């Protein structure tokens, strides 16, 4: 009997190292310090906002029926505004070529939402946390099921993995700006 890896398993395995690097990078930022937290949100925005916009431009709304409730770009913009911070320049360009790429990018953003819920516990109650809140476990499960159904060929999985890696690279780039320079430059 042959064990076949699921699409979600393939994505997890193929992006594991990048995910760990991004986690280590952002874990250096103190979320209980107002300046560091603002820098953290800025770094998140520099990657999240362009990825979300690229997903919209690629037609994510036609692929993921509940896209409207999954979007968080406005939430990170609002949190930055409360802290009196501008929205930073994008960490880099990104374009999603097809449905498989869209699903790979969405996999990373939705995973980041799960991580945000965990991070929120470290943030003081008087800091804005709209961007970090609101995990819907049913939405995550439905995305994982969608990945397994729609990424049904090796080629589609490869495209999704490449897109997910690109998204992780943007988060790593934006996080490096903070850790190395102490600001978004």
Task: Assign 3-class secondary structure to the chain.
Answer: CCCCCCHHHHHHHHHHHHHHHHHHHHCCCCCCCHHHHHHHHHHHHHHHHHHHHHHHHCCHHHHCCCHHHHCCHHHHHHHHHHCCCCCCCCCCCCCCCCHHHHHHHHHHHHHHHHHHHHHHCCCCCCCCCCCCCCCCHHHHHHHHHHHHHHCCCHHHHHHHHHHHHHHHHHHHHHHHHHHHHCCCC
pLDDT at 150 over 80: yes
Mean pLDDT, rounded, for 50-55: 98
pLDDT in tens, 60-107: 999 999 999 999 999 999 999 999 999 999 999 999 999 999 999 999
Q: Note the pTM of the prediction, 2 decimals.
A: 0.93
pLDDT at 157 over 80: yes
CA distances 55 to 61, 67, 102, Å, are 8, 10, 6
d(CA 140, CA 146): 10
Mean pLDDT, rounded, for 140-145: 92
Q: What percentage of the chain carries pLDDT values higher than 90? A: 82
pLDDT at 57 over 90: yes
pLDDT in tens, 111-136: 998 888 889 999 999 999 999 986 67
pLDDT-derived band at 3, boundaries 50, 70, 90: low
């Amino acid at each position: 009997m042959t064990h076949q890896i699921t699409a979600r398993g393939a994505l997890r395995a193929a992006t594991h190292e990048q995910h760990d690097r991004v986690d280590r990078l952002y874990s250096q930022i103190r979320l209980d310090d107002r300046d560091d937290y603002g820098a953290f949100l800025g770094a998140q925005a520099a990657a999240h906002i362009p990825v979300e916009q690229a997903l919209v431009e690629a037609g994510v709304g036609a692929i993921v029926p509940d896209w409207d409730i999954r979007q968080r770009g406005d939430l990170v913009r609002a949190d930055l505004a409360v802290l009196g911070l501008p929205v930073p320049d994008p960490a880099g360009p990104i374009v999603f070529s097809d449905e498989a790429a869209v699903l790979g990018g969405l996999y990373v953003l939705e995973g980041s939402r799960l991580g945000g819920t965990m991070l929120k516990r470290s943030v003081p109650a008087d800091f804005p946390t709209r961007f970090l809140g609101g995990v819907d476990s049913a939405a995550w499960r439905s995305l994982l099921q969608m990945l397994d159904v729609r990424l049904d060929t090796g080629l589609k999985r490869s495209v999704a993995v490449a897109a997910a890696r690109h998204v992780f690279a943007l988060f790593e780039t934006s996080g490096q700006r903070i850790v190395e320079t102490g600001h978004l430059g």
